[in-house]
Structure 1
Amino acid sequence: MPNIEIKPEGTHPIQFSVMLKNRAGALSSLVRLLRSANIEVIGLSVQDSRDAAMARIVVSDSDATITIFREKGIPHTTSELVVIELKEAGRDLAQVLDVLRSAETNLDFAYSLMPHPKGASLMAMHLEDTQFGASVLARAGFKVYYEEDLIR
């Protein structure tokens, strides 16, 4: 049997995880820093603790964000995400979860993104296997968004 390579349709969006001191204005300062470079935060999830907060962000320009974080010495980690469009939130969410369960792939975490300029509701997911999860969801009829689709 020939070795078949499945090629991605684009670059998967990147999530940045940044640990912020739990003080007033920390997240605001981060967002202002990015906006000063014309980078928009298009997805945000914050997990708070007593001393620090974990901010997970999806931005309009990952490469520029990496450069800024390196120049400013902002510690961060990155993860690939699968981003899909949900046309009917309740029905589509249940179907997404059923598709992932049927494919026996794990969903580590998920959160909504800001509405797409064309009005679509988007959900970001960190899956155990990004490429496999994206292909399974695309075959099930979900529109998969790549980084190039999210640039604003």
Structure 2
Amino acid sequence: MPSSFEDENEGGIEIRTARGRDWPSVRQFNVFLANRMGAMLDLVRRFETTDVRVVSLTVVETADCAIIRLVPSDYERGFEVLTQAKLPFTESDLLLVKLPDNDQPLLTITKALLGGEINLSYAYPLLIGVGPMGNTALAIHVDQFETAVTTLQNQGFTLFTETDLRD
């Protein structure tokens, strides 16, 4: 159920918080690591020695640091792992789109986004199968999140949620 509250100054207008959204998404952590030997191993070990799995990962490297974009199997526990490690990170929303069962799944997804005039900032595959059928999926970051959800759902795409990652 979406979280909301009423503010007397707003005349009873319902305000929904980010956690109360009623559309599918997953949270991605953007972890900032020093570009040094063993930093990635340390990060991965922190997850792999718990029951939290890294289900998707990509690395953006620069001369001074690396940004590790990752999706954990359990958002809350992933947050705890990173906080306890005292690693600097931010969070962002992603869509997890089931790859269509056709010969050109990436083309199909990108054409759908173009049709909705949605800019695809970046994408990367999941390392595990998602949902009860173990479906292959693509994690995507877009400039117009709500529009992308509506566009993809209206065209019959399956979008996964954080609950699907835990199953």
Q: TM-score range by the shorter chain?
A: 0.7 to 0.9
1:29 aligns with 2:42: yes
Query: Which residues of 2 match residues 1-152 of structure 1 at below 5 A?
Result: 8-10=22-24, 12-88=25-101, 91-116=104-129, 118-152=133-167
Q: Which runs of 5+ in 1 are unaligned?
A: 1-6
- Aligned residue for 2:104, secondary structure, equals helix
Q: Is the 8 A contact 1:84 1:122 kept in 2?
A: yes
> d(CA) in 1 for partners of 2:128 and 2:102?
13
Distance 1:138 1:26, change over 3 A: same
Give the residue type in structure 1 aligned to 2:152.
L
Question: 1:29–1:108: structure 2 CA closer, same or farther, 3 Å change rule?
Answer: same
Q: Which of structures 1 and 2 has the larger relative contact order (alpha carbons within 8 angstroms, sep 6+)?
A: 1
Matched length = 145
Matched AA of 1:14? R
Spell out, residue by residue over 1:3-54, the C-alpha distance to the aligned partner (whole angstroms, 9 max, x if none): xxxx7355x1111111111222211111111122311001010112222111
- Note if contact 1:108-1:127 (Cα within 8 Å) is conserved in structure 2: yes
- SS of residue paired to 1:58: strand
Q: Does structure 2 retain, via aligned residues, the 8 Å contact 1:87–1:120?
A: no
Q: Show the counterpart of 1:3.
A: none
RMSD: 1.8
Task: State the TM-score, normalized to the length of structure 2.
Answer: 0.79
**TM-score, normalised by the number of residues in structure 1:** 0.86
Percent of aligned pairs with the same residue?
A: 29
